[in-house]
Amino acid sequence: MPLPQSLRDFEKRWSHRNRPLDFSGVWRFRELLPFASDEQIVTIGEGQTMLKTSQPVARYVGVNDDGLFLQYEGLNPSGSFKDNGMTAASTHATMVGAKVAACASTGNTSASLAVYASVAQKFKVVVFVGSGKIAFGKLSQALDYGAKTIQIQGDFDDALARVREVCQTEGIYLCNSVNPFRLEGQKSIMYRVLEGLDWQVPDWIVVPGGNLGNSSAFGKAFMELKALGLIDRIPRLAIINAQGANTLYQLYEKEGLRWNGGRYDRDRSSDFFTKMDQEDRRASTLASAIEINRPVNFSKSLRALDVCDGIVREVSDQEILDAKAQVGAGGLGCEPASAASVAGARLLKEEGVIAAGDRVVCILTGHQLKDPNATVAYHSATDEHLDEKLMNHGVNKTPFSNGPIVVENDLDKIINVIRSF
């Protein structure tokens, strides 16, 4: 169809859900990411996600009961938002006849690329992961989907530098979010958010920031929709870093670096990275999906912040895990990195930047089951017994823990415990 006059026109495709491209939450909007013909598209039904209010999370954040929306991207086939982008990158990989595709990953990118390769059967996959840095839920996916997994000594930033070299010399198709087609696919997350709000623009989009692909894609989505006359205003964007991986926060908020029409002060950012190297400063956070100190989409994210009158905040691992427990108790749950969005929204409300009456959308980027270790460590902790890994990341209390209760296998004792709730 030609580009619609109104975003509402896309809704008509809901009645064609037996057609794979109309069923996909990404390709339903294919006129807004027009680089492939219908026959070329590789889809596995990604983007069947939903936007949901949560009264308990709204209260935790401090906004009106109906003002907090959670966009559950964990409902994607591989359990994270990465599938929105990987369907597009896989499509492009097959368009150019790639035989092998590769990525470096903190886990979700590799899980996503691996599932597309195993379904499409058109190219093989090599994934690079850092040592001891990957949550088991994610590693298990790459292994199970048949991806060749190379574990190198180092962290994500090391793995990414290496995979870029390998792709260059071996002619392998690179699927990290430097791949622009991934960002095209990830624009659809914002289309679905608007759809979930009956095409009304919210006041805030709050998203965790790692490699900054999502935030960059969101900015591009809104810029284009505005230019096409399909929306009349652009929401504000809040990108939330973990304190232990806060490059964007440092450069944008502390050093005041701005997009400046594309002529941003590159000396300032390269000085920052030189110093980071000299001090051998490594990213460190329990939110492993955003444990990244050298975001590849850094400059694009400056543009997104410019387009969306954006702001950046950092939150501690304590705040992230507390917010995660609140999301779990108040909805479908998420992995640690995702909860940075809710922790960030709460901080911005405290600061008075977000108002109680604002409509705030937090992006829950990954599924709760991706990283069960973090969840169990938090909930099993008591004031006397804290998990060592949590403590090493500054998490020294667990106000919302809900640990298993150990009871003797004795009916009366079990009933007594239940009656005491």
Ligand X SMILES: *Cc1c(COP(=O)(O)O)cnc(C)c1O
Residue from the set 36, 101, 201, 212 that interacts with ligand X by CB under 6 A: 212
Minimal distance, residue 207 CB to ligand X, in Å: 7
Q: Which residue has the tokens 């296998």?
A: 409
Q: Which H, E and C letters describe 157-220, residue by residue?
A: HHHHHHHHHHHHHHCCEECCCCCHHHHHHHHHHHHHHHHHCCCCCCCEEEEECCCCHHHHHHHH
Residue from the set 63, 160, 289, 362 that interacts with ligand X by CB under 6 A: 289
* Segment lying near ligand X (by CB under 6 A), choices 35-43, 211-219, 256-264, 375-383: 211-219
**CB under 8 Å to 223, separation ≥6 — which residues?**
234, 307
Minimal distance, residue 112 CB to ligand X, in Å: 8
Please, how many CA atoms are within 13 Å of residue 243, restricted to the half-sphere of its CB? Answer: 11
Q: What share of the chain is helix, strand, coil (3-state, %, to 5)?
A: 50, 15, 40
Residue from the set 24, 54, 78, 80 that interacts with ligand X by CB under 6 A: 80
Should residue 247 be labelled a site residue for ligand X when binding is judged by CB under 6 A?
Answer: no
H/E stretch holding 244 reads none
Residue from the set 117, 290, 302, 315 that interacts with ligand X by CB under 6 A: 290
Smaller CB separation from ligand X, 10 or 116: 116
Should residue 188 be labelled a site residue for ligand X when binding is judged by CB under 6 A?
Answer: no
| Angle between the N-to-C axes of helices 82-95 and 108-120, in degrees from 0 to 180, rounded to the nearest 10 | 50
Residue from the set 137, 213, 219, 344 that interacts with ligand X by CB under 6 A: 213
Window 324 to 363, contacts with ligand X (CB under 6 A): 335, 337-338
What CA–CA distance (Å, rounded) separates 369 from 359?
28
What CA–CA distance (Å, rounded) separates 330 from 253?
31
What CA–CA distance (Å, rounded) separates 109 from 211?
11
Q: Is 262 annotated as a binding residue?
A: no
Minimal distance, residue 41 CB to ligand X, in Å: 22
Strand partners, 240: 208, 313
Should residue 202 be labelled a site residue for ligand X when binding is judged by CB under 6 A?
Answer: no
What CA–CA distance (Å, rounded) separates 145 from 141?
6
CA distances in angstroms from 61 to 5, 65, 310, listed in the order given:
36, 10, 19
The answer to whether the beta carbons of residues 91 and 120 sit under 8 Å apart is no
- Kindly state the number of chain residues that form the binding site for ligand X, as judged by CB under 6 A: 18
Minimal distance, residue 415 CB to ligand X, in Å: 41
Minimal distance, residue 196 CB to ligand X, in Å: 19
Q: Is 185 annotated as a binding residue?
A: no
Residue from the set 77, 130, 196, 210 that interacts with ligand X by CB under 6 A: 210
The answer to whether the beta carbons of residues 46 and 87 sit under 8 Å apart is yes
**CB under 8 Å to 234, separation ≥6 — which residues?**
201, 222, 223, 226, 307, 308, 309
Window 102 to 141, contacts with ligand X (CB under 6 A): 108
Should residue 209 be labelled a site residue for ligand X when binding is judged by CB under 6 A?
Answer: yes
Smaller CB separation from ligand X, 80 or 94: 80
x-or-dash string of contact with ligand X, 143-182, rule CB under 6 A: ----------------------------------x-----
Smaller CB separation from ligand X, 83 or 306: 83
Residue from the set 43, 54, 211, 243 that interacts with ligand X by CB under 6 A: 211
Residues annotated in a binding site for pyridoxal 5'-phosphate? 108, 210-214, 365
Task: List residues near ligand X by CB under 6 A.
Answer: 80, 82, 108, 177, 208-214, 289-290, 335, 337-338, 365-366
